[in-house]
Structure 1
Amino acid sequence: EGSSPPLHEASSSSWIYPTVILCANGFFATMRPSEAFLTPYLTGPDKNLTIEEVTNKIFPVWTYSYLVLLFPVFLITDYVRYKPVIILQGISFLTTWLLLLFARGVVPMQLMEFCYGLVTATEVAYYAYIYSVVSTEHYQRVTGYCRSITLVAATVAAVLGQLLVSLAHVSYFYLNAITLASLALAFACSLFLPMPQKSMFFHRKEAADNGPAPHRARATLGPQEPRGHREDTEPPSEDTTPRHEQPPGWSQSRPRALRVLVQLSKDLRECYSSRKLLYWSLWWALATAGFNQVVNYIQVLWDFRAPSHSAAVYNGAVEAIATFLGSATSMAVGYIKLNWDFSGELVLGIFSAMDAGSLFLMHFTTNIWACYAGYLVFKACYMFLITIATFQIAVNLSMERYALMFGFNNFVALVIQTILTVVVVDSIGLGLDISTQFLIYGSYFTVIAGIFLIRSIYTITSTKRRTTSVAGKNCLQATVQKAPSPQQ
C-alpha cells in the first residue's frame, strides 16, 4: 500500500529535472550580450576588418555552412538521441567565441562563421530533446518554459550589452568574454542532461511503449507559441492516428536508415498534398529566407548609417525592444478570432506588404532612428505571421510530421537564402553594397505580398461565388416547394 505514492510522485516529478537543466542550458546559451555588437566589433580596432570583407566574404560563410550541415545533422540528431548533439552545439559555441576573441584575419573569421553554422544546424536538438524525455501530459507546458526562458535570455542579453557599452563603456572584447563565460555554463549544463531512450524516427519502438500515439502527436506551435488556441474538445485530425503498418518482413529486408528515409519521403508527400498546408508552407519558406537575410545583415546597415567609430551604438536596445515586440505580437495571435481558412492569405499579404515597406524605409532613409524603427516594424510583423503559419500547420499534423515539415520548410528557406546570398551579397556574385541589398530585400517581400494578396482575392471571390450559388439553389428549391401542385 505504501508503494503507490512513491511511484506516482516519481512519475509526476520525472519531468522537472530535465526541464530545469534544459532551461538552464537554453538561458546561458542565449545569454550572449555581445551578439548585438558583432559588426562594430569586427570592423573596429580589435579585428580591423573592412565593412566589405565582413559583408561579402565573412557573413556568407554562415549561410553556406548552415545549408550543408542542416540535413545530415537533422538525421544524426535523431539517431544519436539528441543529447550528444546538444553537447556538440556547446562545443561549437565555445569554438566560435574563442575564434572571435583571439583569431584575426578574414580566413579565421570565415572559420568562425562555419562553426556558428554548426551551432545553428544543431539547434534542432534542443526542442526535440523535450519530446524524448518528457511525458505527453507535460509536453506543452515544458515547451512553453523552454521557449520563454530563451526569450527572456535574449532580452536580458541585449539590455545588459547595451548598458555595459553605453554606461560602463565596456569594450566589445570584454563583452565577448562575458558571452564566452555564459556559453561555458551552458555547455556544463548540457553534460547533466539525462540520456533519452527514444526518438521520433530511428528509435520509434521505444517510443511506442511510452504512451498512445494520438496524444504524443500533439505538436508544439513553433518559435512563439500562441496561448488559448488548443482545446481538449478538438477532434483529432487524420494525421494524429498511428502510422500505417509496414508490410511483413519490411524491417528485415531494408536497413533502418533506408526505412526511415522512405518513411520521411512518404510523410512529406502526404503533408504537402494538402493545398492549405502547401500555401502556408510556401509563405513560411519565402518569408523566413528573407527574414534571416535581413537579421544577418542589419548590423552592417546600421553601421553604414551611423558608423560605430564615430557615433553612439544602440544595437542592444533595439534588439531588446524588437524581441519584446515580437513576443507581444506572437502572444496577440492567441486572442484573435478569425477564420484563417478564409482570411489567412489576406493577412499574410497585408503584413508582408508592411514588411516590404519597412525594408524600403531602411533603404531610402539616411536617419539611423528611422532605420531602427523600420527594423522594429519588420521583426514584429514577421513574428506575428510566423506564429499564425506555425499554428495553422501544427494543428493539422502529428508530432513527427510537424517536426518533419518544420525542418523541411526551414531547409527550403535556407536554400532560397543561399541563392539570395550568392546572387546579392557574395563577392562571387553581384557583391552589392548594403543599402542596395535592402532595396532587393524590400522588392523580394513585395513579390511575396503580391503572391498572397492575389491568392487571397481569388479565395475570397471564389468563396463568395460558391455561397451565392448555394443560396440561389436553396431559394429555387424553396420556390418549387411552395408552388401549387397541378391538382390544385
Structure 2
Amino acid sequence: MQWWTITLLICSYGVLKAFRPSEPYLYQYEHETLNISEKDLEGKVYPLWTYSYMAFLVPVFLLTDLLLYKPVVVLEAIAYVTCWVLFVFGRKGNVLIQQLIEVSYGVATATEIAYYAYIYIKVDKEQYKKVTSYTHAALLIGKCLAYFLAQLLIATKWTNYKTLNWISLGSLCLAFVVSVILPMVSWRTAYQKLLEMRMEDEKPAPLVFDEVPTYPRYVRAHFSRWFKELKGIYSQSFLVKWSLWWAMASCAYFQVGNYSQTLWGSVHGKKVWNGITEAICPLIAIPVVLLMQKVEVDWKKWGELFLCLMSLIDGALLAIASQTSSIYLIFNLASRIRATSTALVFGLNTFVALVMQSILTAIVADQHGLALDIRPQFVVYACFHGVIAVIFSGPIFLKIIRWSARFRS
C-alpha cells in the first residue's frame, strides 16, 4: 500500500476521533442536563481523569511497540466510544457513571501515542516530517470543524447538548470502523526498522546482522534501543532543560484544560460561547503545524528566553482569568494555552507531567485535599506558571551578567 494511502487512512481516523462537538459543552451537559453538582464534578469526577491517564500511560507506553500499534489504536477508539455511550445513556445524577467516563477517557488519552507512532512504521524516513504534520493537523481539523458546528447548533438553538453527544458518538463509531480497517503492522517490518537504526548509529562500520529474525529478538532489540535512546537523551543538558519545562508546562496545561469549563460555567450569561472559543485554538494551530516542518529556529540561542516569556505570559493570563467577570476575556485568555506532544522523550515527559498534575490535583482540587473553589484554583495555576518563569529566568540573567562583564573588560 502506498504511503499516502496509509497516511490518508490514519488522518481520516484522526479527524473522526477528534470530531466531538459535545466536548466544549460537557460541563454544561453534566451540570445542567445530568444534574451533577459543581462540587461533585470538581472534587469527585474530574480528578479521576488525571489519575487514570497517569496509571494507563506507563503500560501503554511500554506495550505499544510490542503490540505493533494497531491494537492500541483500536483500543483508543473503543475507549472513546465507551465514554460517549455512557454520556448518552447514563442516568441523571449518577456520579459513578461520570467517574467511569473519566477512567475511560484516561485510557483514550493514554493510548493516543499509538496514533502518532503507527505511521512511522508504515512510511519511509524521508516522509517523517510530512506525516508528522499531517497527523497533527488531522486532529486539529476534526476539533475545529466539531467546535464550530457545536457553536452554530447551540447559538441558533437548533439542538441541545444531548444531541451533540449523539453526533460525537456517531463520529467515534466511524473512527472505530476506520481503526479496524487500518493495515496491520508486521513485527518483521518493525524489526527491520530497528536494525536500520542500529546500522545508522554504527556508521561508518556497521555490524552485519545475519541472525534469523524472530519476535523475541524483536522484543529484545526494541528494549535495547529504548534504553540506549533514553541514556542518550537525558545526558544532554539542552534536552534535560526542555524536558523539565515541557513537563511543568504540560502539568499546568492539563490542569487548566480539565477545569477551564468549570471556570467558564461560573460566569453566568445568556449565551454560551464555549464552541467558538475551543474552535479558535485549532484554527490558529492548523497552519502552524503544517508550516513547522519548514521552519528552522536556533533554540539553543533563543530557548531560555522563549521558555521564560511563555511561562510569564501564561501565568499572567491565568491570574487575570481567575479574577475577571468578563466571559469574553476569559475565553480569549483560555484559548492562548495549548500544547501537544509525541515520541519517546515527550511520552516520558508527559508521564512526569501527570505525576506532578496528580499531586497538584490531590492538593488543590480533590475532595480529600483543599477542594478549593474554581477561581482560587486558577490563582494557584497562575502562581505555578510564575514559578516556571522564575526557574528559567536564571540562565538568562547569568548570560546577561557574563555579557556585561565581557563588555566592561
Task: Confirm or deny: 8 A CA contact 2:74 2:176 kept in the other structure.
Answer: yes
TM-score normalized by the length of structure 1: 0.76
Asked whether the equivalents of residues 81 and 169 of structure 2 are also in contact (C-alpha less than 8 Å), the reply is yes
Counterpart residue type for residue 207 of structure 1:
K
Separation (CA, whole Å) in 2 of partners of 1:315 and 1:101? 20
Q: Distance in 1 between matches of 2:50 and 2:375?
A: 20
Q: Which residue of 2 aligns with 1:8?
A: none
- Select which of 116, 122, 133 maps to 1:127: 116
Match of 2:193 in 1: 207
| Whole-Å separation in 1 of the counterparts to 2:314 and 2:264 | 18
How far apart in 1 are the matches of 2:295 and 2:64? 36
Q: Which residue of 1 aligns with 2:243?
A: 281
Task: Tell me the CA shift for residue 144 of structure 1.
Answer: 2.0
Instruction: Answer whether contact 2:136 2:289 (CA < 8 A) is retained.
Output: no
Alignment of 1:128-143 (within 5 A): 128-143=117-132
Aligned residues: 405
Q: Specify which of 180, 185, 191 is matched with residue 180 of structure 2.
A: 191
Letter in 2 for 1:441: Y
The corresponding residue for 1:178 is 167
| CA shift digits 1:386-440 (9 cap, x unpaired) | 7xxx7xxxxxxxxxxx822121111111111111111111001111110000000
Residues 433-487 of structure 1 deviation map (CA, whole Å, 9 limit, x = unaligned): 100000000000001011111222213434665x669xx7xxxxxxxxxxxxxxx
Counterpart Cα distance in 1 of 2:271 and 2:388? 35
Q: Which residue of 2 aligns with 1:21?
A: 9
The SS at the match of 1:177 is helix
In the other structure, the counterpart of 2:375 is 435
- Letter paired with 1:43: H
Deviates more, 1:439-448 or 1:267-276: 267-276
Q: Which residue of 2 aligns with 1:67?
A: 54
Pick 1 or 2: higher relative contact order, CA cutoff 8 A, min separation 6: 2
Using the alignment, how far apart are the partners of 1:460 and 1:258 within structure 2? 48
Aligned to 2:311: 352
Residues 108, 298 of structure 1: alpha-carbon distance in 2 compared, 3 angstrom cutoff: same
SS of equivalent residue, structure 1 residue 98: helix
Aligned residue runs from structure 1 range 203-242, under 5 A: 205-208=191-194, 212-213=196-197
Alignment of 1:402-481 (within 5 A): 403-462=343-402
Larger Cα-atom Rg: 1
Q: Does 1:41 align with 2:7?
A: no
In the alignment, the residues of structure 2 paired with residue 142 and residue 335 of structure 1 have an alpha-carbon distance, to the nearest angstrom, of 13
Give the aligned residue type for 2:142.
A
The Cα of 1:244 is off from its aligned counterpart by 9.6
The normalised TM-score by structure 2 is: 0.90
2:253 is the alignment partner of 1:264:
no
Q: CA deviation at 1:258?
A: 7.1
| Residue 222 (structure 1) aligns with | none
Q: Deviation digits for residues 15-63 of structure 1, max 9, x if unmatched?
A: 132212111111110000000000000001x310001111111011111
Kept after mapping to 1: 8 A contact 2:49/2:103: yes
CA distance in structure 2 between the partners assigned to 1:330 and 1:27 by the alignment: 15
How far off is 1:347 after superposition?
1.7
Verify the 8 A CA contact 2:48 2:99 in the aligned structure 1.
yes
For 1:243 and 1:264, how far apart are their aligned partners in 2? 22
Return the letter of the residue paired with 2:29.
Answer: Y
1:147 aligns with 2:126: no
SS of alignment partner, residue 46 of structure 2: helix
Cα distance change on mapping 1:361 and 1:255 into 2, 3 Å: same
Aligned partner letter, 2:55:
V
Q: Distance in 2 between matches of 1:172 and 1:336?
A: 41
Q: Superposed, which structure 2 residues align to 1:386-401 within 5 Å? A: none
The 3-state SS of whatever aligns with 1:79 is: coil
Local SS of the residue matching 2:64: helix
The equivalent of 1:315 in structure 2 is: 274
The CA distance in 2 between the partners of 1:36 and 1:213, in whole Å, is: 42
Cα distance, 1:87–1:338 mapped onto 2, change above 3 Å: closer
Amino acid at match of 1:169: W
C-alpha distance in structure 2 between counterparts of 1:326 and 1:240, whole Å: 38
Q: 1:338 to 1:20 in 2, by over 3 A?
A: closer
Which runs of 5 or more structure 2 residues have no equivalent in the other structure? none
Residues 257, 421 of structure 1: CA spacing in aligned structure 2 closer, same or farther, 3 A cutoff?
A: farther
RMSD: 3.1
1:137 CA drift (Å):
2.3
CA contact (8 A) 1:101 1:176 kept: yes
User: Partner letter of residue 333 of structure 2?
Assistant: G
**Amino acid in structure 2 at the alignment position of 1:316:** G
Per-residue deviation, 1:14: 1.8
Q: Does 1:32 align with 2:16?
A: no
